[in-house]
Structure 1
Amino acid sequence: MLITREVLTRMGATGPNADRYVEALDAAMARHAIDTAPRIVHFLAQTLHESGCLRLTEENLNYSADGLLRVFPRYFPTRADAEACARKPERIGNRVYSGRMGNGPEASGDGFRYRGRGLIQLTGKDNYRALARWCGQDVVAEPDRVAGELAVQSAVFFWERNALNDLADIDDLKAITRRINGGLNGFADRRELLEKGRHALRELGLAGSVAPASVPFAPTHRVVPLQLNLRSAPRVSPATLLASLAQGTEVEVRGPGAAAGWVRVRVMLGGTMREGVVAEQYLAAVAPQPRARGRARAALQGAASLPALPPAVLHDALSATSRVRAEGRIHPLAEGDRPARNARVSTARAAELQSILDWLDVANPAHRRYRPLDGKGVALAYVADCADLAGVYLPRVWWTDSALRRLTLGEAVAAVLDQTVREIGINALHDWLDDQGTAFGWVRELDPTLLQAAANAGEVCVIVARHRDIDQAGQVSLVVPEQPGAEALRRADGEVLRPLESMAGRRGVRAAVSRNAWWTGRRFQSFAFWRHP
């Protein structure tokens, strides 16, 4: 069994609705290869969003005039148009869906007849025809069946027809949402459902019973120069930059890019398979490796895994560290009234995270801990303080090489400054997140839309950039929850261009959008987005 009733209820379905669909979902998902952890959680997240957590299998077109003006301004350009159709679902469906997706003109009635049905809203006569061919049932003549006994099959059909397993394999929530919705409507809810699904599989012990990945990562090439940029499109621009791949990074070439000289590649970043394009001339072929399915690979890796490393924290010195003192920035805050983040629900977690940010009050001149009086460590101190109060480990010190050797042998090692641990800066933090971040619960993201959505859900989110000159400090900032009057910069379709940030420095910034994507600046060799649930 891939999923259970409790997976669905933990994601928000009621018990009766979970009982109604769990067996059909489990069977259909297994039959159509929605059978790995990434595929399962992405499919369920989209299905539960589209169906209102399995409550709805038919599109609700009972819009008010205001709703029509907001959702369908193209079809109802004036209030008079909207008021003429308000609360008249059949007229609305025929107006909005006529003349497209295989539907006839408005008078044909096809728009309402082939309105959205199923657990993933199947819409339009062409899609109903395709479903009929796929399942052998005449849903063109009997479209209501898509909302009934074929509700699950229609969702799986849509998923398979649109190759959404491929996007789930690379954890591309934004692309999946666009393919289903045509835009990013409901993106925050889809992402929250995705995280609930991941937690449910993990907490119920089901994550270990399915393969962690379906498509094996089989490197075919490696990066030749010191650094190679992974991009979203074959165009050299800050807007297309996803990540910097270090020399020797292994990639799997998947085919030619959309422009000459570029290839599509997959690469493992932060323990997750990602996809983009790179310039082909900077890759060298490697000897082919035998393919192993995700579960087999995980078993092999687990057999050779080293003991988990403990966090390095200075506990016993400078117990009087506080926001108003500049001393002891590499030590945790010791003030007695510190807030915390303990809630499980995303809205409450976001409120608690905001309370932490308000308490830290990075822009307050009296908080000398975050003023660069000595030119050292303020940006990282602020980010690490926020993480610590939220119950997340982000190091200010890390183990020395000799201490690491002792720890891997199973010895207990105390954190003593300049003996077993040493202070790390932002450049070293960038590399630590690459090397150790996933072991401490950090998840790498490539997209600011996802990063902002995570912050809005109460996750600790950071942007970190490593300076080209190792003797110069890098830069790090927090991405923080949006508030009325303080929001990320978005395109008209909802995609985030620049997130809402907070950072320490000569002028502390509580919440603002940067004038440009500073992390893509020439002075930085590499950057990364990270989040911690």
Structure 2
Amino acid sequence: MLITREVLTRMGATAANADHYIETLNAAMALHGIDTTPRITHFLAQLMHESGCLRLSVENLNYSVDGLLKVFPRYFRSRAEAEACARKPERIGNRVYGARMGNGPEASGDGYRYRGRGLIQLTGKDNYRAFAQWCGEDVVADPDRVATELAVHSAVFFWERNNLNALADIDDLSAITRRINGGLNGFADRRELLEKARHAMRVLGLAGTFAPLAVAFVPTHTVLPLQLNLRSAPRVASSTLLAALMQGSAVEVQGPAAVAGWLRVRVLLNGVLREGVVAEQYLAPLAPRPRTRARAAPRALAGGETPLPALPEAHLQGERADVTRARDGGRAYPLGEADRPTRTARDAPGRAAALGKIVDYLGVADPAHLRYQARAGMTFCNIYATDYAFLASAYLPRVWWTDTALRRLTLGETLEAVYGQTVRELNANALHDWLDEHGVAFGWVRELDLSLLQTAANGGEVCLIIAQRRDLNRSGHISVVVPEQGAHQARRSAEGEVLRPLESQAGTRNFAREVSASAWWASERFQSFAFWRHP
């Protein structure tokens, strides 16, 4: 057995619905390779979202006038058109799905006949035909079976047909959601369900009962220029920019992209395998290399070999009452005010609320808080970001060990943090490198997708955007992505994709909650940028 009824009930299903589907789910998932922890949790998260936690297996087309105008604006261009069909599911289905996806014209009735059914809804006559061929049952003649005894099988069919196991293997929730939904509608709920599935598997002792698939990373090419942009789509635009690949970075070419001159590739970034596209002309082929396992386990030590000690956090003296928001000085030290808030809640809403209180407490835009106010050509984005992380108990160093101290620490010495001797201050450029080199060891997770970054912030995680200057003698920049609340919302596309997250920063201009007018991190003045989150 891969999962138990408790996994489903912990995700929100009723006991009756869990019992109804559990046996079929286990059999179908095992038969079709949904049998590793990443694959199972991603599959369940999407299935539970699409089915309303196993409550729904038929698309609900009983829309109001406003619902039709919001969900199907392409098919209801005026309020009068929507009023003619509102609360008439059959007319709505025929109007919306007629003459496409293999369906006959609106008058044929195919649109309603082949409306969405199953736990991940199968829609359109062409998809019903393909499913019939896959499962050997004539669901074209009897489509209602997709909503009943074949509800699980249709979901597995959709998952397999769209090769979603491969995306689950690399933990790409955004790509899975887009492939199922066509956009990112309901993304926050899908991510919350994914976390619930992971938590349930872990606490119920199921996550270790079957080995996760080791995802092979086989480098085939290397990056030629000093920097090459990894993009989400084969076009040059700030909205497609995922990450900057440095000269010599290894990539695995998957095949041609949809546009000539571009290639689909995989890259290993901070231990996480990610996919994107790059311009073909900037890659050079490599000689064949041994396969590398993404997220590989630490190497076993040979007999008598001593493992390198984990690096300790570096902090200057804490709890100094004179290190306050109002003081213009003491910035190398953590805040010492007694009334400072923290992030101690366990649930996502509580953690997000705590982050909101931290933003309000720090009051970065308050002129009285001199700690963050620009002066004499100096800005303090790094001070603000490290204070935010400090109060949220996510380690982001204000000071870090010098090179000499690091060598001594790796030899097993115990050192105290002494300013100018064993530790030095880190500006935004240096924090960019620290996150790249050490961040994963301190709980930071690299992200490429702004929608996931904003959703993580809304779930109470500490989230950052950081960019390093081309001219290292000039300031880089770091901002905090904060939870949305009230009128303070990220900017999204019509499909629900985050175009600009909700940020908080100190800099040439300080603000607590705003959406940037442009993707500042993609500016030519920066040589590299990254998105990070800390659970």
TM-score of the superposed pair, with normalisation by structure 2: 0.91
Among candidates 350, 365, 379, match of residue 363 of structure 1: 365
Q: 1:408 to 1:31 in 2, by over 3 A?
A: farther
Q: What is the Cα deviation at residue 208 of structure 1?
A: 4.4
Q: Does 1:518 align with 2:507?
A: no
Counterpart residue number, 1:310: 312
Moved more, 165-174 or 456-465: 165-174
Question: 1:34 — aligned with what?
Answer: 34
SS of the equivalent of 2:123 reads coil
Contact 1:383–1:477 (8 Å) recurs in 2: yes
Residue deviations 1:149-202, cap 9 Å, x none?
211111010011112223333433333222212222212211222233344444
**1:228-239 correspondence to structure 2 within 5 Å:** 228-239=228-239
C-alpha separation in 2, matches of 1:260 and 1:101: 27
Query: Is 1:488–2:490 an aligned residue pair?
Result: yes
> Deviation string for 1:251-271 (max 9, x for gaps)?
112223344443322101132
Structure 2 counterpart of 1:19, which letter?
D
CA distance in 2, matches of 1:499, 1:44: 27
Does residue 179 of structure 1 match 2:182? no
CA contact (8 A) 2:460 2:483 kept: yes
Q: Mapping of 1:285-364 within 5 angstroms? A: 285-291=285-291, 297-298=296-297, 300=299, 306-316=308-318, 318-364=320-366
Matches within 5 A, 1:49-68: 49-68=49-68
Q: Which amino acid aligns with 2:525?
A: R
Correspondence for 1:445 among 438, 444, 447: 447
Letter in 2 for 1:108: S
Give the corresponding residue for 1:408.
Answer: 410
Which residue in the other structure is 1:431 paired with?
433
Q: Shift of residue 92 of structure 1?
A: 2.5
CA–CA separation in structure 2 for the residues paired with 1:18 and 1:309: 45
What is the CA–CA distance in structure 1 between the aligned matches of 2:17 and 2:301, rounded to whole Å? 38
Displacement of 1:524 in angstroms is: 0.9
Q: What is the distance in 2 between the residues matched to 1:334 and 1:345?
A: 27
Letter in 1 for 2:13: A
Residue 17 (structure 1) shift: 2.8
Structure-1 separation of matches of 2:270 and 2:6: 29
Deviation at 1:210, TM superposition (A): 4.4
1:244 matched to which residue of 2? 244
The residue identity in structure 1 corresponding to 2:407 is: R
Determine the C-alpha separation between the residues in 2 that align with 1:400 and 1:91: 70
**Structure 2 equivalent of residue 23 of structure 1:** 23
Q: Deviations over 1:65-112 (max 9, x none)?
A: 332232223333343443343333233323322222222233433222
CA contact (8 A) 1:467 1:474 kept: yes
User: 2 CA distance for matches of 1:360 and 1:155?
Assistant: 47
CA distance in 1, matches of 2:78, 2:27: 47
Distance in 2 of aligned mates of 1:199 and 1:397 = 34
Structure 2 CA distance for partners of 1:92 and 1:225, relative to 1, 3 Å? closer
State the secondary structure of the residue aligned to 1:62.
coil
Counterpart for residue 381 of structure 1: 383
Question: Which is further off, 115-124 or 279-288?
Answer: 279-288
Q: How do 1:218-233 and structure 2 match up within 5 A?
A: 218-233=218-233
TM superposition shift of 1:472:
1.6
Pick closer, same or farther for the CA change 1:270–1:211 going to 2, 3 Å.
Answer: farther
**Structure 1 residues 57 and 464 mapped into 2: Cα distance closer, same or farther (>3 Å)?**
same
Partners of 1:362 and 1:508 within 8 A in 2 = yes
Q: Quote the offset at 1:244 in angstroms.
A: 1.0
Shift of 1:502: 1.2
Cα distance in 2, alignment partners of residues 191 and 132 from structure 1: 31
User: How much has 1:375 moved relative to structure 2?
Assistant: 5.1
Query: Does structure 1 retain, via aligned residues, the 8 Å contact 2:37–2:207?
Result: yes
The letter of the residue matching 1:440 is F
Distance apart, 1:299 and its partner CA = 5.8
Aligned length, in residue pairs: 532
CA-to-aligned-CA distance 1:191-227 (integer Å, 9 cap, x gap): 2222333444445554444444553111122223332
Instruction: Kindly state the Cα deviation for residue 448 of structure 1 after the two structures are TM-superposed.
Output: 1.8
Unmatched 5+ residue regions in structure 1?
none
Letter of the 2:95 counterpart: R
Identity of aligned residues (%): 70
1:391 equivalent in alignment to 2:393: yes
TM-score (norm 1): 0.92
Structure 1 pair 404/484, CA: closer, same or farther in 2 (3 Å)? same
* CA deviation vs aligned residue, 1:424-461 (integer Å, no higher than 9, x gap): 11111111111121222212111222222222222211
Partner secondary structure for residue 216 of structure 2: coil
Q: Select between 240-249 and 251-260 the one with higher mean Cα deviation.
A: 251-260
Partners of 1:259 and 1:111 lie apart in 2 by 33
Q: How far, CA to CA, are the matches of 2:270 and 2:210 in structure 1?
A: 20
SS for the counterpart of 2:112 is: helix
**How many Å separate the matches in 2 of 1:254 and 1:530?**
26
2: CA distance, partners of 1:106 / 1:378: 61
| 5+ long unaligned stretches in structure 2 | none
Conserved 8 A contact 1:211-1:294 = no
Contact 1:317 1:331 in 2 (8 A): no
SS at match of 2:297: helix
Segment drifting more, 74-83 vs 144-153: 74-83
Instruction: Give the whole-Å Cα distance in 2 for the aligned partners of 1:452 and 1:317.
Output: 32
Amino acid at match of 2:20: R
The one of 412, 419, 422 equivalent to 1:420 is 422
Matched letter for residue 125 of structure 1: K
Write the distance in 2 (CA, Å) between the matches of 1:225 and 1:74: 44
Counterpart of 1:325, as a letter, is: R
Q: CA deviation at 1:22?
A: 3.1
Pair 1:201–1:407, CA change in 2 (3 A): farther
User: Aligned with 1:430: secondary structure?
Assistant: helix
Using the TM superposition, name which of 166-175 and 395-404 deviates more.
166-175
Determine helix, strand or coil for the equivalent of 2:332: coil
Counterpart Cα distance in 1 of 2:199 and 2:52? 19
2:354 corresponds to which letter in structure 1? E
The structural deviation recorded for 1:362 is: 0.5
